[in-house]
């Protein structure tokens, strides 16, 4: 089953670059064959929100909602079940300083 890991923070993180470096996690999940792809995202202030209302395209700079949590990146993984996906997410360095939302892909 495929899952997306949404890598989120709640503001500034007090950790060293080494503590936040996902290289070892990326290498391990690659060796295990569970990580399909992923990437960091630009800050929320660089986002553009798109809505269509009454046929008109409405654009807003930045995120739609003001929240503490901001998505900083994502990874797509393929695991045998939710338990394995949680185990993989718990090993990501950001799990110690932010949070990882594990969300399954929609399947028919």
pLDDT in tens, 19-46: 999 999 999 999 999 999 999 999 888 8
What is the domain-level CATH number for residue 80?
3.30.70.1060
pLDDT for the residue numbered 71: 87
pTM recorded for the entire structure: 0.85
Given a cut of 90, whether residue 93 has pLDDT beyond it is: yes
Q: Which domain holds residue 74?
A: 2-12+19-104
Contact call for residues 63 and 44 (beta carbons, < 8 A) = yes
The C-alpha atoms of residue 57 and residue 59 are separated, in whole angstroms, by 7
Mean pLDDT over 9-25 rounds to: 87
Query: In the chain, how many domains are there?
Result: 1
Of the two residues 25 and 14, the one the predictor is more confident about is 25
The C-alpha atoms of residue 93 and residue 27 are separated, in whole angstroms, by 13
- Pairing between strand 35-40 and 99-104? unpaired
């Amino acid at each position: 089953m495929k899952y997306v890991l949404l890598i989120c923070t709640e503001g500034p993180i007090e950790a060293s670059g080494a503590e936040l470096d996902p290289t070892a996690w990326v290498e391990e999940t690659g060796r295990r064959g569970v990580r399909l792809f992923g990437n960091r995202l630009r800050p929320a202030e660089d986002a553009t929100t798109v809505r269509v209302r009454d046929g008109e395209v409405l654009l807003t700079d930045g995120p739609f909602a003001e929240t503490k949590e901001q998505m900083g990146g994502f990874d797509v993984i393929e695991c045998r079940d939710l338990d394995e996906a949680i185990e993989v997410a718990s090993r990501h360095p950001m799990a110690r300083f932010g949070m990882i939302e594990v969300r399954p892909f929609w399947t028919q």
